[in-house]
Amino acid sequence: MTERGALRVRFDQVAREVAKFGAVGAVGTLVNFAVFNLVRHVTDLPVVRASVIATAVAICCNYLGFRYFTYRDRDKSGRTRELTLFLLFSAVGLVIENGVLYVATYGFGWDSSLQSNVFKFLGMAIATLFRFWSYRTWVFRALPAREAVAHAESFLDGDGGGGGEGRGDGPGQDAVRPRRAA
């Protein structure tokens, strides 16, 4: 494959990842705003506390979307590590998101319902950039190439679990030789 072709494939992969991340993020944004406005109008909680609750609920929804949709093909071997890092980076994102709202509300006195939603959205946008980078780099790591090939071969073999590992077969070899019994 040419360098230009490899670059195009990589660009397409990142574009798909960004689209999936955006889809999960859009659902998370709807959840975040719905919970934020519900808590804000139903309770007497201060704006930033209501926002922290809403962000925490959205983080839970987003983890499920990222693990089982956006990054479903990524390494699943260290779930405890993955969840710990996800929560750590999500907490940093929560501070970024709600820090913007805090400064707008208590620093500048912009606390109408519209202003709160605008600055919550601005904080979410900034935090999203951080979250995208941190999740793809540290939390949902890509499988090493050898494991990815073995996983793909096992999927093609239909056994669902690493059946192509260590056999030395190349792609398409099962069409020539019958599959070995496990």
- pLDDT at position 170, please? 44
- pLDDT at position 172, please? 44
Torsion of CA 39, 41, 44, 49, to 10 degrees: 40
- The C-alpha atoms of residue 75 and residue 52 are separated, in whole angstroms, by 30
- The C-alpha atoms of residue 108 and residue 144 are separated, in whole angstroms, by 49
- pLDDT at position 76, please? 77
| Structure-token match 């790591």, residue found | 141
Predicted confidence (pLDDT) per residue in 106-161, tens digit:
999 999 999 999 999 999 999 999 998 998 888 887 766 555 556 556 656 665 54
Q: Kindly tell me if the per-residue pLDDT of 179 is higher than 90.
A: no
Q: Kindly tell me if the per-residue pLDDT of 181 is higher than 60.
A: no
List alpha helices for 43-144, DSSP H. 47-65, 79-102, 113-134
Predicted confidence (pLDDT) per residue in 31-81, tens digit:
999 999 999 999 999 999 999 999 999 999 999 998 899 888 887 788 888
Q: What is the pTM of this model?
A: 0.71
The candidate with the shortest Cα–Cα distance to 17, out of 123, 133, 122, is 133
- The C-alpha atoms of residue 59 and residue 40 are separated, in whole angstroms, by 18
The candidate with the shortest Cα–Cα distance to 118, out of 66, 59, 51, 73, is 51
The candidate with the shortest Cα–Cα distance to 123, out of 105, 148, 149, is 105
Predicted confidence (pLDDT) per residue in 3-24, tens digit:
888 889 989 988 998 899 899 9
